[in-house]
Amino acid sequence: MSLWADIERSIAEATAAPFHIESRTPVGGGCINAAFRVAGSGRAYFVKTSAPHTADAFAAEAAGLAEIARSQTVRVPQPVCHGSNSEAGWLALEFIDFGSARRDSSGALGQALAAMHRVTAPRFGWQRDNAIGATPQPNTPCEDWAEFWREHRLGFQLALAEHNGAPKSLLAKGERLLRDFPALLAGCGVEAALLHGDLWGGNAGFDRAGTPVIYDPAVYYGHREADLAMTELFGGFNRDFYAAYREAFPLAVGYDVRKQLYNLYHILNHYNLFGGGYARQAETTIECLLAEI
Ligand code: ADP
């Protein structure tokens, strides 16, 4: 069976309606996978494909989208089905017609994110592991946020960095930070909030009605400041977004320091994925954090 015949069948089974592909148009903009608008039988889906071994990452992405959809706080593409054969893995989602922001769209995104962050769980982590970019992301449930961030976020990426030959000075400072960073969390009242987990500008947009949409998540329950910090790392979110978020869910004192602690995770991940100047950026960030303790 060819890949597209299997995808066709997988969509037909999941939707309990016959589905025959009439057109398949590449969609640009992704970082990792090939993506297509697949249309036929009077409907359309967004389908990502990748190597067969990525099937588990697609299953995790579908589960993450379903978790956010259940919160009924922000629009996400509804997952349809996922699977794999010897050729490839695939993930089919509701196709969203993206448009541009209206006057109040960015504020609506800020409010929607705040509402999502009001959804909490008894423990940090999640029911399953997933991926951050192409890197595995462990979500082993944990009662304590500092322990979770140490073990499953910074410590995990620092161990990978060591494996990838990171500079000794970076690793030594990273060790000190792993020991001392809980001082930065004192008094900020961390709750296990539903997070997108990979909220850079490329993973948020607006549909034709101007309604905010977020996608391509790396869901877990954690400190909401981690999501907000990431929006600042690569830019793409405007003042209306931040004003609306803070009005709906004010931030505790010390966010400006803690956001560096949270973005360090993504900087280390970029080092582990792409190498180069990210080692220097990670080390400088660690130095700034150590100076705050
Ligand atoms: P990758 O996993 O490769 O990073 P993304 O999930 O970010 O891929 O999707 C790539 C691009 O496809 C996005 O930037 C967006 O423009 C578009 N896109 C994502 N999800 C949908 C969807 N459900 N419907 C239509 N277009 C989508």
C-alpha 293 – ligand 1 centre gap (Å): 40
Give 212's pLDDT tier (boundaries 50, 70, 90).
very high
Nearest CA to ligand 1 atom 16: 29
Query: What tens digit of pLDDT does each residue of 115-172 get?
Result: 999 999 999 999 999 999 999 999 999 999 999 999 999 999 999 999 999 999 999 9
Q: Give the residue-averaged pLDDT of 226-236.
A: 96
Residue closest via CA to ligand 1's atom 10 equals 30
Q: Which of 56, 198, 216, 256 is catalytic?
A: 198
Is 152:197 a contact under the CB 8 Å cutoff?
A: no
pLDDT band at 54 (very low <50, low <70, confident <90, very high): confident
% of the chain beyond a pLDDT of 90? 94
Quote the CA–CA distance of 121 and 140 in Å, as a whole number. Answer: 13
pLDDT (mean) for 14-25: 97
Question: How high is the mean pLDDT of the chain?
Answer: 96
Q: Which atom of ligand 1 is nearest to the CA of 32?
A: 3
pLDDT of 1 reads: 58
The binding-site residues of ligand 1, defined as CB within 6 angstroms of any ligand atom, are: 27, 29-33, 35, 46, 48, 77, 93-96, 202-203, 215-216
List the domain boundaries for the chain.
3-94, 105-292
In sequence order, the 6+-apart residues with CB closer than 8 A to the CB of 115 are 71, 73, 74, 248
**Which fold does the domain 105-292 belong to in CATH?**
Aminoglycoside 3'-phosphotransferase; Chain: A, domain 2 (3.90.1200)
Nearest CA to ligand 1 atom 8: 30
pTM, whole model, 2 decimals? 0.97
Nearest atom of ligand 1 to the alpha carbon of 33: 3
Of 46, 67, 51, 22, give the one whose Cα is nearest residue 217.
67
256 is catalytic: no
Q: CATH 3.90.1150.10: does it fit domain 3-94? A: no
pLDDT at 65 over 90: yes
Write the residue with the smallest CA distance to atom 19 of ligand 1.
Answer: 215
Whole-Å CA distances, 214 to 107, 220, 223: 14, 15, 18
